[in-house]
Structure 1
């Protein structure tokens, strides 16, 4: 438990999900649209140590050849509490729009996810993304999900032709 957040007059616990310490490179995987014939290119990795550790995703997103994404994702088996109301990201970037993709075991296709977007400011900022802001990527996906079902989280540069450059220093659950 890291701290608390005041919501509707009550304190809700905040828990650090990822601070990119330890063996974070083993927990996070880079994926691009090249897995399906796209031509986007990029890199992702952990830079810094201790309180300065962060994941950095950068590259060129191209919608050519039916492409359009680069991402860094973490799959996990530990369940989030059902009481989780949202994600809190400490993030900086180049002012472009990025996305968080969440996956659950109920999603039948690898390209299905629940998605929310954020703008990565040029200096460090903490951004809250309530879970009710996530929407299904495709028709036929259940409209709602439980926090305890989430088993994958990705930071994604997606959907447009642009130069991606985003860093995340911490991801918390609130």
Structure 2
């Protein structure tokens, strides 16, 4: 395990590689029989380089999500984020609500995560998501920020058209102005 560096991805590397050395991936509910479909691209949005996820989220066939995900540690390992207060991201979207999901080394099942919602307005906005406000989903375990493995930006839970861009994602300190 290594200490989590501040920058998770600032898009300085060629797509889909992040500063972490890992690549962003698009995952849909099709892995479990759903019918949601989407795309992930690297493009300029509102004059900023961004990772953009677009697509239709459908609840048909027990589905209901699209996600762009990034492993945080080397070779699927974990990072220790105890020195940080939370995660901040610069978002641009279609005014819809999205989630940030975290996975830790304590959980193995793909449907288990820690979640926090945020709105992605149709202009660039920095969103601060403190670790203390993540809620466990399908687990009773508390969020272990000393063992973070993966994060995902997720369009989930209702029929809608997803369109969200991320230009910067990083950990933030307790003394950073929000």
CA contact (8 A) 1:107 1:141 kept: no
TM-score (normalizing by structure 2)? 0.83
Normalised by the length of structure 1, the TM-score is 0.85
Using the TM superposition, give the Cα deviation of residue 43 of structure 1 relative to its aligned residue in structure 2, in angstroms.
0.4
- Hey, what does 1:161 align to over in structure 2? 159
Residue ranges of structure 2 left out of the alignment (5+ in a row): 18-22, 173-178
User: 1:126 deviation in Å?
Assistant: 0.5
Structure 2 match to 1:121: 121
1:11 is matched with none
2:46 matches 1:47: no
- Structure 1 residues without counterparts, runs of 5 or longer: 1-13
CA shift, 1:45, in A, is 1.9
C-alpha separation between the residues in 1 aligned to 2:140 and 2:103?
11
Separation (CA, whole Å) in 1 of partners of 2:105 and 2:88: 23
Aligned length in residues:
158
Could you give the per-residue CA deviations for residues 54-89 of structure 1, whole angstroms, max 9, x where no partner exists?
100000000000000001000131514312111111
Alpha carbon RMSD of aligned pairs, Å?
1.8
Task: Name the structure 2 match of 1:20.
Answer: 11
| Conserved 8 A contact 1:83-1:147 | no
Give the ranges of 4+ consecutive aligned residues of structure 1 lying more than 6 Å apart after TM superposition. none
Partner residue, 2:175: none
DSSP 3-state at the match of 2:165: strand
